[in-house]
Amino acid sequence: MFDGIVPVWKEKGMTSHDVVFKMRKIFKMKKIGHTGTLDPEVDGILVVCLGQGTKLVDILMNGKKQYQGEIAVGIATTTEDAHGEVIKVVEVQEPIPSSVIDDVMKDMEGELAQVPPYYSAVKVKGKRLYEYARAGQEVERPKRRVQIEKFRRTSDPFYDPEQKIQKWNFEVECGKGTYVRTLAVDCCVKLGYPGHMSQLTRTASAGFNNKEAFTLRELEQLAKASNLNEAVIPLEKAIEGLPRINLTKDQFQEIRHGAVVANDYFNQKISKATALFFEDKLRAIYDRHPSKDDKLKPYKMFPREKVEK
């Protein structure tokens, strides 16, 4: 039984569920989950949680993500990427200047309102949007606020005079819930054309990057050598971004079973989720009580080995 997380490099053609299914076979355990779906045709980092690490899924999902991709101007598709049916074509009669592209992309940084694509898993009235799309039905899609930390062009724009389309590579750093293909489409619209995201790779997620990721084949090889522990990142490292408090023995005995305590119990005020450590092990994450301002309550508990009284 493993407790922790593993950054996995998901290859194109696999769903995120496929990765979890294979991980359960490799690690010979059922309690495994991931921290954010990647579309089948998108490769990149998929952070997978094992055992008690699954309690960190929602926390890790709130972390920033980074992508590299390509934007294609002039052609719109049903799925907003290169794998959907073409629904609109507008010829780009002459190249769009780089300075104009850069200004539009820069203007899209910050907080944005996005309408999720029809081919997405967002639920409306109990059904996924892709279910409406496949049935040819229209439904009002809810707007969501997303945070775009960085949206930059990373290559010279390429203009195809025969097809009359224009492409360039980009990188984006964004917050939870961002649809990068929608970001690409909205960028094209601001430039006056239909468009789509023609390629995408997720290069970082939940504080981990592509250099730290393991392929499924590498994990299989580690399993054969009985060295899977080399790939598992402990819970303590996974939550390094949270505030930390080191507990005294008395404090640990008080909170080890999830006691509600006063906000100043740890000799300091807590205003957000805080990791509680004892003997260098993560024991709990506490946060403000939802209805009692002067109290703290457990957000997540992590039972570990027994500690002598």
Backbone angles phi, psi at 288, to 5 degrees: -65, 145
- What Rg value do the Cα atoms of the chain yield, rounded? 23
Quick one: 118 and 180 in the same domain?
Answer: yes
SS3 assignment, position 211: helix
**Which CATH number covers residue 171?**
3.30.2350.10
Q: Are 148 and 110 in contact (CB under 8 A)?
A: yes
**Which CATH number covers residue 267?**
2.30.130
Write the burial class of residue 211 (CB in 10 Å: 0-12 exposed, 13-18 middle, 19+ buried).
Answer: exposed
The whole domain housing 39 covers 4-63+206-237
Residue 307 lies in a domain: no
The pLDDT profile of the chain, 309 residues, written as one tens digit per residue, is: 899 999 999 999 999 999 999 999 999 999 999 988 888 899 999 999 999 999 999 999 888 999 999 999 999 999 999 999 999 999 999 999 999 999 999 999 999 999 888 877 788 888 888 888 888 888 888 888 999 999 999 999 999 999 999 999 999 999 988 999 999 999 999 999 999 999 999 999 988 998 999 999 999 999 999 999 999 999 999 998 899 999 999 999 999 989 999 999 998 888 899 999 999 999 999 999 989 889 999 999 998 664 433
| Whole-angstrom distance, CA of residue 196 vs CA of residue 209 | 25
In the chain, the amino acid numbered 190 is K
Quick one: 137 and 196 in the same domain?
Answer: yes
The total number of structural domains that make up the chain: 3
DSSP label at 117?
Answer: -
Active site residues: 39
Write the burial class of residue 131 (CB in 10 Å: 0-12 exposed, 13-18 middle, 19+ buried).
Answer: middle
Whole-structure pTM value: 0.90
Tokens representing 184 are 């690409």
Residue 273 lies in a domain: yes
| Whole-angstrom distance, CA of residue 39 vs CA of residue 61 | 16
Distances (CA, A) of 22 to 188, 269, 292: 38, 43, 44
Quick one: 108 and 50 in the same domain?
Answer: no
E strands, the chain, are: 4-10, 32-34, 43-50, 65-73, 75-77, 86-89, 110-114, 123-124, 127-128, 144-153, 158-160, 165-174, 195-205, 208-209, 244-246, 261-262, 274-278, 281-288, 295-301
